[in-house]
Chain A
């Protein structure tokens, strides 16, 4: 009898620990490190997600900005942080992928230095031109450039420049590129007539509505929800795209239950009403969480795509 009770007690204890294992809880505050300055898009989204997570799970969330190199500085320290689920980081894939491809040997981390938890959203990159531009698609732009001994397109991020160079190489278009600090500045150059077309990530949408600009192509892998008729660059015959994702990762070696709990909590927070509103406001797109496996695949595939952009 006594043995039976003890056995039952032991079983109960095991089950309890089993339950406890399934419901992983951080033993202290969870720090979400942001790879960008305070006040920017990544910062704003990260803070909304952290707040939602804290409200939904009851965990204490701390948000910390670690700017530098488009997230490189933050991921450098994240890679060597303790993998206990209490330090996670949010960044953007493009600067990481570009640096991994260009100077991977100098970076103190690799893709497999992290456990991937979630993606937050995908930025929508478009190629736009003034409404009275004498072309409506990429081929038209290429022909225009050829017949005018070259033309100028502005961009605000390296991958956009590379995409256009890819087009140049394939079509012999001789399009020249100028760098700007933001989508808004790129659009200013188009509106002012200083360049013929520009890349923009969201800032162009009100100009499409007002009719000042027209969309030449989606630079992403798929078309954009607000402009279903504008074909992607790939559809227009150039096998290349850019897909900037906001994503969240943790140092490699996270316990399986912690990874699972964090991924679930993040997914719930990312798809909450408050976060959805913030994402729609800031990026003009919907939240899209690919989950841990999807996020990892996105980055692994991303390296191949960026290699292609760099012609490597």
Chain B
């Protein structure tokens, strides 16, 4: 779409020492805030944006993209090492990553996370760079009805992760949807369940709920379990063979299909705004588990579980830029922050962007690939550092994590109100897992609830209340049929077969 000179000029524009330093600094900052429990790339980017106003557009955006990419990998570190994910995507990484760490292989798990994260990210970046225009045109065809059908399909796949009891899973999902109801309703703006607290008009703060339920409840559980002995958080056997500390090429190669599937799922869901990285991570994990010969080994430290999740949620980041650059639509909170960064630099995403700012956009693409490489190199260093840190006594590690969570939520939600919400949900999460209700199902329902409600209401208006009008939306029909099939397969057929086997 653009001529070669523009592309070359853009790449040349990107490969300056200043840009490289901003990318390196961004990735470093991202990996650091991602790895600290309670903070993350969203918070770091929100705080950094006003300061980038003083910079040139390219270093400013390259820095923010670096923070985003570094933060996404960084987020997998606490999830794997101490089972305290700060976001729902990282929760899926913890499923298999943390058991691996407990087996004394924290470096292997974090390295696999790093490699698959960079793999998925690079895959979707290449898709973005080469075919973003046709993909964006396709994504335009996805109207509210199709998005609604896609979400139903996503839910039906994720349902396969519910666990032993379907009833408990449904209860957890219903509670998550209930929590998502708080605040202004997405269709007419009528406030619901806010109990006089105007802070709740925008709904329960996402960061406070996610960190409370996923991280703080785990911290509470671990603190409660600490006995009189002082133990290191993770015991690494002294005579550990080299193979347990690294990811061999054979291991990486054995995950190729899992990673490719994750990267494709992430790229598709990233290109279609609205569904997001949470769904991508869980769909990829669920389908890796379904396709595996030994699905029972998932959740107990199967390295493929880590590869599936990390490749998918990282692939969303690059693909998110497709609707962002071509239409100006943010597919996630971080993408929304990138749009406001573009805007304050006077760059308007949309149809004329490649024409007017071609040099900048190809420079950005070059900076993204640069950031992937830096992520890989710097990640090797930082994961060693954090793996070393968790050799510290668990009393120390978990108490500092708790302090960091409180501080992080205080800053990102703008005050003590968010901290109270976080603590309420930490207790809720603690008791839910005590009685065998899936916290993760709750969080998925909570995160997707609002979008689901909005597209349901849009769909009802478009269909004008007649289900037969669905016939003029063939893609939605296909997706809904797939949803029914997968619900039947995962909910009835597969469990029955498993019971017969047992």
Contacts and interface: CB of A to CB of B under 8 A. Distances in A.
Contacts of A210: 350-352
Contacts of B327: 184, 187-188, 191
17 contacts: A39-B337, A41-B340, A44-B340, A44-B343, A44-B344, A47-B50, A67-B199, A68-B198, A68-B201, A180-B458, A185-B273, A188-B273, A194-B144, A203-B328, A203-B350, A278-B53, A281-B344
B414 A64 contact: yes
Interface string B455-471: 00110011010000000
A179 B187 contact: yes
A189 B330 CA distance: 14
Nearest to B344: A44
Interface string A111-131: 000000000000000000000
B202 A68 contact: yes
B461 A69 contact: no
Contacts of B462: 152, 178, 194
B337 A189 contact: no
Contacts of A179: 186-188, 454, 457-458
Contacts of A212: 351
Tell me the dominant secondary structure on chain A's binding face: helix
Interface stretch (B135-143, B171-179, B398-406): B135-143
A189 to B, nearest CB: 7
A73 B198 contact: yes
Contacts of B50: 43-44, 47-48
B360 to A, nearest CB: 14
Nearest to A183: B328
Given A39-B336, A177-B461, A179-B188, A73 B199 contact: yes
Range of interface residues on A (Cβ < 8 Å): 35 or more
B40 to A, nearest CB: 13
B5 interface: no
Contact of A65 (B143, B145, B414, B458): B414
Contacts of B336: 39
Interface string B110-150: 00000000000000000000000000000011111100000
Given A182-B329, A185-B329, A282 B351 contact: no
Nearest to A187: B327
A70 B146 CA distance: 30
B415 interface: yes
A188 B200 contact: no
Range of interface residues on B (Cβ < 8 Å): 35 or more
B482 interface: no
Contacts of B53: 44, 47-48, 278
Interface string A35-49: 001111101100110
Interface in B323-370: 323, 327-330, 336-337, 339-340, 343-346, 348-353
A188 B189 contact: no
A66 interface: yes
Contacts of B337: 39
Interface stretch (B41-49, B68-76, B289-297, B382-390): B41-49
Contact of B352 (A98, A192, A209): A209
B351 A207 contact: yes
Given A48-B53, A203-B328, A192 B200 contact: no
A282 B144 contact: no
Contacts of B373: none
A192 B340 contact: no
A185 B142 CA distance: 12
B184 interface: yes
